Amino acid sequence: MYCVKCGVELADSQRSCPLCQTPVYFPELSDDRERPYPKQNKPETVNSRGVYFVITFAFLIAAILCHMADMSINGDFTWSGYVLGGLIVAYTILILPGWFNRSHPAVFVPSSFGAVALYVAYINYYSGGEWFLTFALPLIGGVALIVCSVTILSHYLRRGYLYIWGGASIATGLLCVLLEWLTVITFAREAMFVWSLYPAIALFLVGIMLIVVGIVKPFRESLRRVFFLG
């Protein structure tokens, strides 16, 4: 047995080091003898729900103040609805998942896009626009489909990332073509496929490259060593 401080060899009967006077610690004993080093206390955990409650209350105060200011200035609810909608979208995306112990992407990612779609629909309705059904809704739906697919597959499969991101790249290229087509039919543009083919072709080639790398084992292994991908 040796001293834990200076390393001097100790006899079994000694209760302190003869050189540095450090008390000998016997780990097999469970008494209250003074130890040569302080106890390690576990760090205190913060109740995250208390933090989210304070943030929720702050969101609520901001919404009430905006409505009160709008009513006192304009005598009616004019711009405060846009602020309230933005707060609801931000709360749904950033704060709402924190209330739960496990944030399942299959639930919270689609709900976030649903909140965005409702907010955009509100803007379209109160601004007198006619672009939600023919432009905004298909675009939001396409982005939601890609993001939800990538997030859910990456979360639950834990492998095959090259195939997932390759398919997402190809789908994003097709979404660019859809975006330009929706712009033409909604806003009466005459030109078609002016810019969308360029990112579509580039993203398609990137997606094919990722899929090929995922299929060919030597390519996949070399890429895994460099970027830690599966």
Does residue 37 sit in helix, strand or coil? coil
Q: How far apart are CA 160 and CA 129, in angstroms?
A: 43
Res 177: pLDDT: 94
pLDDT tens per residue across all 230 residues of the chain: 677 777 777 777 777 877 777 787 665 554 544 555 555 555 556 667 888 899 999 999 999 999 999 999 988 888 999 999 999 999 999 998 888 877 788 889 999 999 999 999 999 999 888 899 999 999 999 999 999 999 999 888 878 888 999 999 999 999 999 999 999 999 887 777 889 999 999 999 999 999 998 898 887 777 777 665 54
Do 178 and 209 touch, CB atoms closer than 8 A? no
Residues 210 and 225: their CA atoms lie apart, in Å, by 15
What is the residue-wise DSSP string for 57-92? HHHHHHHHHHHHHHHHHHSS-SSHHHHHHHHHHHII
For the chain, what are the domain ranges?
A: 1-36, 159-230
Bridge partners of 23? Answer: 16
Amino acid 30: pLDDT:
47
The whole-number pLDDT of residue 41 equals 58
| Per-residue pLDDT, 205 | 97
For the full predicted model, state whether its pTM sits above 0.85: no
Q: How far apart are CA 82 and CA 120, in angstroms?
A: 10
Q: Residue 27, by phi and psi: left (phi above 0), alpha (psi -120 to 50) or beta?
A: alpha
Scan for tokens 């209250």, then name that residue.
32
Residues 6+ apart with CB under 8 A from 230: 158, 159, 160, 161, 162, 224
What DSSP character marks residue 99? G
According to the model, what pLDDT value does residue 174 have?
96
| CA-wise closest residue to 92 among 69, 72, 116 | 116
